[in-house]
């Protein structure tokens, strides 16, 4: 029988972007999935979280719930982002331990890396400086989660794993004006510009920063593979190994949306992290995972989903 078949898995954040894809795969693999939504379980409530986990009796907890968004959202909500993520992460990890779970998999983020980390970013450099200030509180909450996991393994023997995905994109992303990241925000704006016959769109920053993108279905596959095969508290980068300047990314999104107008750069707005590019050798060597969907194909699928879902 497969690793997941009949295994009791408690998944937080199942109604979210990555969480929804994880839920699909867990159901297809035969897991007994317990996936309470936010209206059913408030992870900010410690007592409620511990009771829900105790009643669920999970063998494995997969924690994907998060309070986050793009640069604009992070800049406007640094206090609540830090508070909410620290509490949700702490409550979920401690409740998993109290409920007797065998494993805890906490989805982390490359936002935890220092702003000026050497590129390609390696897991060993995680604590070599402060994160990019525009998302510093969020990045620090992820660092704390990973250190908590290391401590719980050392004291209580709880097996933990921490995948660190780079920027995700794909179907079911958040296209809202308040929370969207760069890819969904630009897909929405380019698509609306095409429909309105607009001749230009305004883009934040200089276009000189770089990003590494990972298609969400690739990420979901990686997280589950890591949960099955990686037995260490050491975090693991998840990315596709391709560093793309934001200017080229914007041009690729415009092509995918059929927008041929001008791109106007608003240099008064922040670029965010100067460079994001990961060393993904630990994932390849540790549990045999590599991304399979390239950027052009991933953008094509994402644009198609966005237009069909509106």
Per-residue pLDDT of 83-106, as tens digits, reads 999 999 999 999 999 999 999 999
pLDDT in tens, 8-61: 999 999 999 999 999 999 999 999 999 999 999 999 999 999 999 999 999 999
Q: Could you tell me if residue 249 is inside a domain?
A: no
State the total domains in the chain: 1
Res 179 pLDDT > 90:
no
Answer yes or no: pTM beyond 0.75: yes
If phi over 0 gives left and psi between -120 and 50 gives alpha, with beta otherwise, what is residue 270? beta
At residue 166, φ and ψ (nearest 5 deg) are: -80, -170
CA 48 to chain centre: 25
Query: 196 lies in a domain?
Result: no
Residue 21 lies in a domain: yes
pLDDT at position 181: 84
By C-alpha distance, which of 290, 293, 289 is closest to 301? 293
Model pLDDT, residue 71:
84
| CA 68 – CA 141 distance, rounded (Å) | 11
**Residue 150 structural domain:** 8-169+214-242+276-292
CATH of the domain at 57: 3.40.50.720
Which band of pLDDT confidence, cut at 50, 70 and 90, is reported for residue 249? very high
Residues 6 or more apart whose CB falls under 8 angstroms from that of 227 comprise 60, 62, 103, 105, 161
Catalytic site positions: 138
Decide if 299 is inside a domain: no
- Nearest-angstrom CA–CA distance, 112 and 89: 14
Domain assignment of residue 56, yes or no: yes
In a domain, 197, yes or no: no
pLDDT of residue 1: 53
245 neighbors 181 (Cβ within 8 angstroms)? no
201 occurs within a structural domain = no
The overall average pLDDT reported for the chain is 95
In a domain, 219, yes or no: yes
> Residue 11's closest CA among 27, 29, 39, 33?
33
Q: Write down the pLDDT at residue 177.
A: 78
- For β-strands 236-238 and 200-204, DSSP reports them as unpaired
């Amino acid at each position: 029988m497969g690793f997941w078949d009949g295994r009791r898995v408690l998944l937080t954040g199942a109604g979210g972007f990555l969480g929804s894809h994880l839920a699909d795969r867990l159901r297809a693999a035969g897991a007994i999935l317990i996936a309470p939504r936010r209206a059913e379980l408030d992870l900010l409530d410690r007592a409620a979280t511990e009771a829900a986990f105790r009643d669920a009796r999970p063998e494995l907890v997969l924690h994907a719930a998060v309070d986050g968004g793009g640069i604009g959202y992070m800049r406007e909500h640094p206090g609540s982002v830090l508070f909410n993520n620290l509490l949700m992460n702490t409550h979920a990890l401690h409740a998993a331990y109290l409920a007797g779970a065998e494993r805890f998999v906490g989805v982390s983020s490359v936002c935890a890396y220092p702003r000026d980390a050497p590129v390609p970013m390696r897991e060993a450099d995680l604590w070599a400086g402060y994160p990019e200030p525009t998302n510093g509180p969020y990045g620090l909450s992820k660092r704390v989660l990973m250190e908590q996991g290391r401590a719980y393994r050392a004291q209580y023997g709880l097996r933990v794993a921490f995948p660190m995905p780079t920027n995700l994109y794909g179907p079911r992303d958040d296209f809202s004006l308040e929370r969207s990241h760069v890819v969904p925000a630009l897909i929405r704006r380019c698509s609306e510009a095409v429909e309105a016959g607009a001749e230009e769109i305004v883009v934040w920053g200089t276009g000189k920063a770089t990003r590494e993108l990972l298609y969400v279905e690739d990420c979901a596959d990686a997280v589950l593979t890591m949960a099955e095969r990686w037995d260490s508290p050491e975090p693991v980068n998840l990315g596709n190994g391709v560093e793309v300047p934001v200017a080229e990314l914007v041009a690729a999104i415009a092509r995918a949306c059929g927008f041929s107008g001008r791109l106007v750069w608003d240099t008064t707005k922040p670029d965010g992290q100067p460079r994001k590019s990961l060393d993904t050798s630990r994932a390849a060597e540790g549990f045999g995972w590599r991304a399979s969907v390239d950027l052009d194909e991933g953008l094509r699928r994402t644009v198609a989903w966005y237009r069909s879902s509106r």
